[in-house]
Amino acid sequence: MERESEESKVPEAREVFQHGPMSNGLTPPAVQQEAWAAAEEGEEKTRFALPVLFFILTVFTTLLAGSYQEGGDPLHRPGDLVKGMPFSFTLMAILFVHEMGHYVTSKYYGVKTTLPYFIPGPWAPFGIGTFGAFIRMRSPILRKNALLDIGAAGPIAGFVVSIVAVAVGLYSSKIVEIEEGNALLRLGDPLMFNFLAYFLGKVPPAGYDVALNSVAF
């Protein structure tokens, strides 16, 4: 009886070998593999298309935000979108480099991730045109040092670009006289901001202030 039972398993084992462990027993393995490859290809296209779409939308909303900050009215005068280019380019560069810091470091450690997803947002006077950006991990992080490096790479990369942006913005900003009666509440500037202002010769004398342009702002 025991030998007969073992022999009865042989056809079943042959069937598994013939169709493959993931087969449904009806579709040939080659056809199934082609279907899986097509599904993965479609998924890859979606993973690429959505980030690109959201990136374009966020560029547009930050252009609107920058244009309104410069006194433009791009929804009624489309040509005013040009006024928002310095603000949009600076902000998008900071966000892009920040997320690419995460992305590149993830690739270095063999962690699968999506492309950065940029989130469009409301423009002035309600917002700056974006809520930021993020990437999604598609595989686990198995090493603690990898988790630390991936997490730190984004802020460090974004900080470097921010320093460059503030320096360029300060250098191109004007020092203007503060009119009497128009003094505003000042909350103080970051130490790095003051250091760059001193280094670039943009420390205003008494009664004057730096009118920040859209790049520094």
pLDDT band at 17 (very low <50, low <70, confident <90, very high): very low
pLDDT of 88 > 90? The answer is yes
**103-144, pLDDT tens digit by residue?**
999 999 999 999 999 999 998 778 899 999 999 998 888 888
Mean pLDDT of 160-184: 80
Please write the tens of the pLDDT for every residue from 67-84. Answer: 998 889 898 999 999 999
Span 204-216, pLDDT tens digits:
887 777 878 888 7
Joined tokens for residue 50? 């959505």
pLDDT at 132: 94
Residue 201's region, left for phi above 0, alpha for psi from -120 to 50, else beta, is left
Q: 3-state DSSP: the chain helix, strand, coil percent, rounded to 5?
A: 60, 10, 30
Domain ranges of the chain: 2-211
Residue 157 — pLDDT band, cuts 50, 70, 90?
Answer: very high
Residue 7 has pLDDT above 50, yes or no: no
